[in-house]
Structure 1
Amino acid sequence: MDITILGIESSCDDTSAAVLRNNVLLSNVIASQAVHVKYGGVIPELASRAHQQNIVPVVDTALREAGVGIGDVDAIAFTRGPGLVGSLLVGVSFAKGLSIAGNIPMVEVNHLQGHILSHFIDLPDRTLPHPEFPFLCLLVSGGHTQIVRVDSPLAMEIIGTTIDDAAGEAFDKCAKVMGLPYPGGPVIDRLAKEGDPEAFRFARPRIEGLDYSFSGLKTSFLYTLRDRVAADPEFIERRKADLCASLQHTIVSILLDKLVKASKQTGIRDIAIAGGVSANSGLRDGIVAEGRKRGWRTFLPEFKFTTDNAAMIAMAGCYRYRNGEFSTLDVAPEARLEELSQGEKLKVKSEKLKVNLSPK
């Protein structure tokens, strides 16, 4: 039987709605918020206000583009967390109201699981490549850096995570100290193509196991700029491309070193990446190169599924719907989504993990 899911995503600064029939995407509408650019980062209060303005037209557009009426929707999947509480509250509240008005069941989704399960979305005109279970997924964004073992759509295990900062945060913070516009990650990626990745060397963490650390790298980058600028005030401008290329090369190398180690330890050769940083060309090229060298099957998400989007929320919601996991009207958004009780718990091996992937 066909299942039609309306997905709603509002975890940060993108308001998105999507319609999915089984695993085929019928529409995916995203309204971004340019207001944060001048502040160099997302302002939570402004983000939540923009979500309130955007959510009705975004959902309406998604339904119309899909050719679906609200009465055709079998369930509403929404992001419960992690994310900004004010932003999440808009999406959760809208899902509740729509659920009551249309007598439609709700399915809550963990934002991070959504990123991972975006690999199972198909498009109307073509079937995309999907990894086979079990597979490893390197989940990399501005707020998270994790290696996740995925045994099924509802069974995931975090086997490595950052103990301090995320890789995406390292990109953005280093971009900021160079005076690059926000968001800095894409700008670094573009400039890195013009620079020498071996021009500068920055500190690499020595963390045992499969965990990551990026705070030392950021400090090393800052000290390099401080010392070089003291001797040459025009240093950053003259060497911007080389700085970006060297920084990107270092971050990608750190990410892939642990991913290679995880593959060796688990014996798993289906390897995927997900999250905002999975759009980075250096990371995409690097994982493909490692795959050729090591006999992996590698899976890169479509660029439109790397950033926050409702298509991935609908996909994750479809699996939960089939498993009979529904939310009640007293569900509340969770910024960190740590203490959850319903459904299958994810096993967490790192004692320092701050945000897990467990469903409610």
Structure 2
Amino acid sequence: MNSLRVTGNEIRYPEQQTATTTGAKANEAWCGLACKTKNIQQHKQIPRVTYVLTTVYSLSTPARSIHSNSSNPKDKLRRIAVSPGTIICQQLVQEGTYGRIYSGILHHPLGETRDVLIKTVVDGASLSQVAYLLSEGSTLCGISHPNILFPVAAVTELSGPPKVAYPLAAKGNLKLYLQSCREIGIQNSQLSTRQLVEFGLQVARGISYLHSLGVLHKDIATRNCVLDIELNVRVCDNALSRDVFPSDYHCLGDNENRPVKWMALETLEKKFFTASSDIWSLGVLLWELATLAAMPFEEVDCFELSAYLRDGYRLAQPVNCPDEFRWANII
């Protein structure tokens, strides 16, 4: 088992080289390391990477799915709608200013119950806060894949706060799990480099499947992934993430909080999303895995990040990241 050291350093790459950033390359890079957990090596300077752009989506365009012809979040969630008393909140897991995430119970009509994760808002939440929950909570509705966490039930009636229920992931949020491993020491956590590589592979598989359906995630990060009891990763939507992870989101002067440190240059500058910008965010997630959920570009002001990236700066290959990882092909 390899020991992991956390680093948040960044370097400037003096050379420029064009490369295509694709999910296949990210997946290939992970596979190349899956059976190699050698000793840690120092990072090296790597050339700058640019994108080959694909289908363009504006910031305001919801991710679309072939599973639904409706762009109305309530229409998507109506297919899994249940009565308010069917979803029971029990233990508070995370909370923000207006959002609450609970573990709880989903009652089936035949009397069976199921453990679930529940996203909801407090009484008195604004209409825009409710709209965010329903819109973001419906993004992955109807999409079934081993590495996707999709909603299984929802309450959308106006008689009370809306609720969106998901299969319960026993190990919880991936970002919080990684940070807890950093706090207790990687050796005590029994988390190996091989396991981190497997986490990355599973996220890549989930994102690849979303893209095959024409769905863009737009907010790929460890905070939007969960772990089950067997340490399998499932990518989830970003409902309530702005509220429960406020330090990961920033406003660039337009009253919209965005995951700036995870966003590709074209998204920051031109405000559109592509499959390539999703893969950029995946690359930042891989860096999060290697650093046990450190903050990317921690010393860079959000308003200066576009210029920082345009000038050729990138996240450095973490010191605990073996050369076989082929970091230059990922970010």
Q: If the length of structure 2 is used for normalisation, what is the TM-score?
A: 0.27
Q: Higher relative contact order by CA 8 Å / sep ≥ 6: 1 or 2?
A: 2
Q: If the length of structure 1 is used for normalisation, what is the TM-score?
A: 0.25
